[in-house]
Structure 1
Amino acid sequence: MFFFKMLGTAAGGGVPQWNCACQFCDRCRTSPQNVAPRLQLQAALSGDGKAWFLLNASPDLRIQIEANSELQPSPGLGRRNTPITGIVLTTADLDQVLGVLLLREFQPLTIYATALVRKTLEANSFFRMLERVPNQLTWVEIVPGKKFSLGESGIYCTPIPLEGSLPFYARELDTGEPGQASLGLLLEKDGRRIAYTPSLPEITKELREIYRTCDTVLADGTFWSDAELNRTHAGTPLARSIGHVPLSGEDGTIALLADLDFPRRIFVHINNTNPILDASSPEHRAVMDAGWQVAHDGWQLDQ
């Protein structure tokens, strides 16, 4: 069995974003039936439906746990327990690690991360809250390209090295070593192969070869166009300059992967400015016509 669920599908800030009155945030507030609210990106997976692993830890994690009963503690197991066994961190970006601090209640946890991501978190005094009692936190170092198992789940994970650097708050710690600061993940169990790549600075030949072997690809759906942010927030950078290949255009994700044959292709990590949020938009229709899905909060993979 292979359980995989998206608990949140939006980019940083969610939809609607707290300080944004753009077209789609406004429509989400006034017409949520047209533009559905989305929590920040969060995925969970399990090999048996009992022990769960998180892919990163979003700032919305507490809400996401309470919205998904499989991640909640059981009264039959005592006052303090959790089915969450471990967390795989693919980056040190705040949007993907702040949720770890929400799990600081003396609960033993295992975190899988590169040496650089671990170093970045341990350099921040906030994360000492995860080391108040012995064995509260167990680190497992992961290496780009080297397969590892997620506990006893039967799920194997291979980190996919991506171009990228540490976030601004930790830039001085960056070593420049490829794949240490940013990873995708290839997940395997019982013949199923899932590529989880919600942040893509480029689509390389190597990545295409990985996708070619997968039955499910979850890809970066942050921006529809390269200049999308500029149209809503003057002076902001282009999509590619901040590490996201846009969906549209001859050099966009849809066109670059059009020749690959994999059954399920799903866009995740969708920014609040992206018109594919609106199911009635021509951009959303273009995505569907190209054989892609737009993931929603609660989207899950068939077993």
Structure 2
Amino acid sequence: MALFLFLCLCSCTAGNQSIESTPERPYLMVLGVAQDAGYPQAGYQDEWEAIKLGQRQIQYTVSLGLVDPQNHKRYLFEATPDFKEQLQMMDKVSESQQYPFDGIFLTHAHIGHYTGLIHLGREVMGTKDIPVYTMPKMKSFLEQSGPWSQLVSLGNIDLQTMQDSTQVQLSPSISVMPFTVPHRDEYSETVGFKIQIAEKSIVFIPDIDKWNKWDVDIREVVKTNDLILIDASFYQDGELKGRDMSLIPHPFTRESMELFKDLSATDKDKVYFIHANHTNPLLDINSPEHEEVLKAGFHIARQEQIFRF
């Protein structure tokens, strides 16, 4: 399975993911970069004050928008607590045939990644048969747990089952492939996505446990794809005061940079850190840690950033 996944993640050609192209070409838009609770987080008055004083900016929960202008379609990756703000961001730049989205892809059942589905219910938008792509356990969770089950029974959403390492073809030139990754799977499995747009391949892994728990070498994933958006929940150990961070085993940003240190400059340039906890100094563009990542040759995903292909 590890070999199969590695082969599926491979891309024939690496290139500069930020090259501008014609408006008809598909593109990805970063709709949020923060961990599940966003920034500022509930109850942290210093963060709210920093926003008020203009010292920091609001950062929405991690999400991507995939836009296919030629077919007038768009897709959402993660339905977050910031769904309505992120939908508004998409409405300014794109359109869909099945409003609000022609499909929604979910990675797993942690609060920052699916709870935005509530906006599709009869209390809000009252949508009809919006395709929601899930893995089997995630599908069962939504079908059997209220209030999500009501979205299914009322036909607000139409659950589409995905299978590990199997492509979902969205158009002749666009496909999405889920692949399972190790994570705290209390209610569902967890996946990352490989998004294929023509000859370009994008890997999105917003949540994963430590890299050594995965049976795939993340360095090979970087080498064989064109753009990598990966989990940067925490910058380093000790970041959560008074909590045992081994119980929340995300890759520390510094661990990832150390793991990637021998990659070529071209490969490092593919890496974008995303899904930063409110405690992570990467969210502060003026922090030494933010500068450290950039100087090392990597990137930090920015809200409203667009990647054209």
**2:15 counterpart residue number:** none
Distance in structure 1 (CA, Å) of the matches to 2:117 and 2:93: 15
Supply the AA of the counterpart residue of 2:106.
Answer: L
Distance in structure 2 (CA, Å) of the matches to 1:277 and 1:110: 32
Q: Secondary structure at the match of 1:84?
A: coil
Q: Secondary structure at the match of 2:141?
A: helix
Give the gaps of 5 or more residues in structure 2.
1-24
**2:205 counterpart residue number:** 197
Q: Following TM superposition, by how much is the alpha carbon of 1:51 offset from its aligned partner in structure 2, in angstroms?
A: 0.6
**1:284 counterpart residue number:** 290
Query: Match for 2:88 among 66, 89, 100?
Result: 66
**1:260 equivalenced with 2:263 (yes/no):** yes
Matches within 5 A, 1:182-261: 182-203=190-211, 204=214, 205-230=216-241, 234=242, 236-238=243-245, 240-248=246-254, 252-261=255-264
- CA spacing shift, 1:264–1:207, aligned 2, 3 Å: closer
Structure 1, residues 232-277: CA drift from partner, whole Å, max 9, x if none? xx2x230x431311112xxx01111222342422111111111122
Matches within 5 A, 1:175-186: 181-186=189-194
Q: Secondary structure at the match of 1:131?
A: helix
**Larger CA deviation: 190-199 vs 44-53:** 44-53
Distance in structure 2 (CA, Å) of the matches to 1:117 and 1:71: 30
Equivalent pair of 2:129/2:157 in contact (CA under 8 Å): yes
Q: Secondary structure at the match of 1:5?
A: strand
**1:14 equivalenced with 2:43 (yes/no):** no
Equivalent pair of 2:142/2:149 in contact (CA under 8 Å): no
Distance in structure 1 (CA, Å) of the matches to 2:86 and 2:92: 11
Supply the AA of the counterpart residue of 1:216.
Answer: L
Distance in structure 2 (CA, Å) of the matches to 1:20 and 1:211: 36
**1:161 equivalenced with 2:180 (yes/no):** yes
Equivalent pair of 1:106/1:132 in contact (CA under 8 Å): no
Supply the AA of the counterpart residue of 1:273.
Answer: T
Structure 1, residues 221-242: CA drift from partner, whole Å, max 9, x if none? 2111122012xxx2x230x431
Distance in structure 2 (CA, Å) of the matches to 1:226 and 1:156: 37
- CA spacing shift, 1:101–1:275, aligned 2, 3 Å: same
Q: Following TM superposition, by how much is the alpha carbon of 1:133 offset from its aligned partner in structure 2, in angstroms?
A: 4.2
Query: Match for 1:301 among 282, 292, 307?
Result: 307
Identity, % of aligned positions: 22
Distance in structure 2 (CA, Å) of the matches to 1:198 and 1:277: 15
Equivalent pair of 2:35/2:278 in contact (CA under 8 Å): yes
RMSD: 2.3
Distance in structure 1 (CA, Å) of the matches to 2:176 and 2:95: 26
Q: Secondary structure at the match of 2:286?
A: coil
Q: Following TM superposition, by how much is the alpha carbon of 1:37 offset from its aligned partner in structure 2, in angstroms?
A: 1.4
Equivalent pair of 2:87/2:100 in contact (CA under 8 Å): no
**1:31 counterpart residue number:** 54
Distance in structure 2 (CA, Å) of the matches to 1:275 and 1:163: 25
Distance in structure 1 (CA, Å) of the matches to 2:82 and 2:228: 24
Supply the AA of the counterpart residue of 1:12.
Answer: D
Q: Following TM superposition, by how much is the alpha carbon of 1:2 offset from its aligned partner in structure 2, in angstroms?
A: 2.6
Give the gaps of 5 or more residues in structure 1.
171-179
- CA spacing shift, 1:72–1:257, aligned 2, 3 Å: same
Q: Secondary structure at the match of 1:68?
A: helix
